[in-house]
Structures are given as C-alpha cells and as structure tokens.
Copies of this chain bind each other. A is one copy, B any other.
C-alpha cells in the first residue's frame, strides 16, 4: 500500500538527488529521505564520488530516530564495499524498518543484491515508486550500465531555415545570452563534451563550463570538475596551443595512438590522451568511440560538433536527445546546414518526438528524442 505521503517523500528524494547534477559523475545522482509518519527525520543526496552516499547522509542526520523509520531512496542501496561501506548494511544497522527503492541498480552484476540484503535482514522493501522520475535522473548511468555506452545529447544552434553559418564559413553567435547560458548548464551536467578537429581548427573553442556564465545554480552542489573534452581527430592535427587543451583533461581519438607525427608527440607530451579508433570513409566509427567513452566511465556525452560529426550521429541513429536551439532568423539557402545528412527518400527521414519546448530570450530550445 503506497499512499500520497510515500509518493511525496520519494518526490523529495528525487529533488534532493538532482542537487548532485553537476558533481556526482561518474557516480549516479541519488537522493534519500528518512521519515516516520509525516515527519522527515533525515535527508541526503550524493554529492561527489568518494564522498558519502545519499543514504549515509540521511541516516547521519536522522541519528537514533532512524530505528523503525522508513527510507525513500531513488536507487537501490549498494551492497558492496567500494570507497564507502555498503548502504544496505548501514540501513539495516540503523534499524530502518521499510525501504522504498525507486529503481533497481542498473548494473547487471549487482542489481537486486542490495534489496536482497535488506530483505534477508527483515527489512520490508517496496520497489518502483516514481521509477520513471528516478530513471530520468541518471539516463547516462543507466545506459552505460546496460549497454556500456554513454547517453548521447547532440546540441545544435541553428536558424529557422536550418543553417548554422554562411557559405563562407562566417558565423557568430546566432542565439542569444539566455540560450548560451543554457548550453553552459548542459555542459555542466555532461561528463564529456565531444567535438571534431574541424571545429577546433575553425572556432578554437574551450568547451569548458565557465562558472560565471552558469549563473545561479540554487541548491545544487558546485560543479566539481570540467567535463572531459574529447576530440575526434583522425590525424592528431589538434594544435598544441589550442584553447581546448588548456587545463588538461582531454582525450583525442585518432587513427592510431602511436601516430609518429611531431604534433602527436607534442600532444602526448602535454598529457593529452591519444586513443586509436577505427575510421571509415565518412569519418570516425562512432560506435567504437562510444564504447571507449563508456569504458572511461562517461555517463552523459554532449556532442557539440560541426555538420559532419553531427550528421554521423544522426544518420547512425545514435542520438538519444537532440537539443536544438533555434534563433528567429534566416541565414539563407546558401548557408551551412546543421548536419551533413544525405537522405535519399522520404522513407529515410528522421522523425523526432518533442519532449520539451522552451523560450529562452528570443530563441527557442527544443528537446527532441527519436520517435
């Protein structure tokens, strides 16, 4: 029997989990509420890998009152000794009588073990309350645990006639300040940002989160690191002086990790990771790239790339979410397309479902998922 009170407490746990949106990676975002009747005794959320899990923080706040209480956790409590002792054990030892877990751990090798440990110890366990909301907290962690690849968000900023720049390559910010701030937030929730060497050479972007532009993050935990910058760069042409290399934390995916070019040696000397990956006629083998990023613990990947790489992701149906920022402007039919996407017939068209539309200043943001 789940009542409105239970749902409200789990909703609160989801809300708490979201506070870790900029900081938990590679761990999942998790929230926990400990309550008895209508009274909340303790709240917690996971802030950073290596630090206390949500349950431990909530238990610590509840203290001895946790005995006989109910815990609401957005993810199955862990059962293994990692950097911290298992949360399932801590809940048992605190005497918690009932645990609501919104979702099972998606990792197939441990899924269900935490709940089993609780049940074995006589704790009542209820699964699945607000499961959908809890899954949405961690699309990347869930996907990586299931298929070994990050959740892919493709970001595009385009005109209403689907262009990003003039034929000459001339471009400038076509979206306004609010849309650009939104992109900062998008980068900040991402574990990695992927671009192509063409963009590096043409625009020399940093692809970092600039804390000042991120604006007020409310009660969220401060971002703990920059997203990993990833460059698809077959011949390791990224200039050692490129802005994107400043501050380190960059991986380059090239045709061979042992490229003997002087530039590749310079990059390696700068501490840039050089990884070999297959390349095909139309560019990098994105599936192999995603596998590799999954191995690096990347949950949520943001693709901010030129039309070639963006087109490859769309064409191979590897985009989980398309974030399309539309400026109310026409750049003309000679302008550069948002994505190089050579479709032959109507049957090949790429159909999206609109998840969200939002006005950002003069611009509009659409969040689209494959239909």
Contacts and interface: CB of A to CB of B under 8 A. Distances in A.
A311 interface: yes
A330 B339 contact: yes
A330 B351 CA distance: 7
A332 B341 contact: yes
A94 interface: no
Contacts of A339: 161, 330, 333
A143 B354 CA distance: 38
A103 interface: no
B159 A368 contact: no
Contacts of A352: 160, 328-330
Interface string A310-349: 0100100000000010101111111101111111111011
Given A162-B160, A324-B160, A339-B161, A348 B332 contact: yes
B343 A335 contact: yes
A333 to B, nearest CB: 4
A346 B170 contact: yes
Contact of A331 (B168, B349, B357, B368): B349
Interface string A69-80: 000000000000
A353 interface: yes
Contacts of A338: 161, 333
Contacts of A335: 343
A188 to B, nearest CB: 25
A166 interface: yes
A147 interface: no
How many identical subunits does the complex contain? 2
Contacts of A311: 333
A202 interface: no
Interface string A141-168: 0000000000000000011111100101
A186 to B, nearest CB: 18
A2 interface: no
Contacts of A166: 343-346
A158 B162 CA distance: 10
A362 to B, nearest CB: 7
A284 B307 CA distance: 35
Contacts of A110: none
Contacts of A371: 328
A142 B111 CA distance: 70
Given A161-B338, A362-B354, A332 B328 contact: no
Given A333-B342, A334-B342, A357-B359, 16 more contacts: A158-B161, A159-B162, A159-B349, A160-B162, A162-B337, A166-B345, A170-B346, A172-B346, A174-B349, A307-B333, A328-B368, A329-B352, A331-B346, A334-B343, A357-B357, A357-B364
Interface of A: 158-163, 166, 168, 170-172, 174, 307, 311, 314, 324, 326, 328-335, 337-346, 348-354, 357, 359, 362, 364, 366, 368, 371
8 contacts: A161-B337, A161-B341, A162-B163, A166-B343, A170-B345, A314-B330, A333-B339, A335-B343
